[in-house]
Amino acid sequence: MLMLHNDDFNTFDFVIESLKELCGHTTEQAEQCTLLIHYKGSCDVKRGTVKELKPIFEAFCERGITASIEE
């Protein structure tokens, strides 16, 4: 699964737009994930194989959003 982690520099709007663009989330899904990231510290935003998730992970990292792929 692809996890996003809370940080102190990305805005809610930037993370929401990134989730919509990179993961295909609806606005509501992206907003809910962003709130979970903010209040819980992380959220799984997409599930799939490592091969499927790696390009999305790299795209989040290129945008400066802290992400990880976890089993």
Structural domain that includes position 65 = 2-69
pLDDT at 4: 98
Query: Which pLDDT score, from 0 to 100, does residue 71 have?
Result: 85
CATH code of residue 40: 3.30.1390.10
CA distances from 14 to 23, 31, 51, 67, 70 (A): 14, 11, 25, 14, 23
Number of domains in the chain: 1
Look up the pTM and report it.
0.94
List average pLDDT for each run of 10 residues in the chain, which is 71 residues long: 96 98 98 97 97 98 98 85
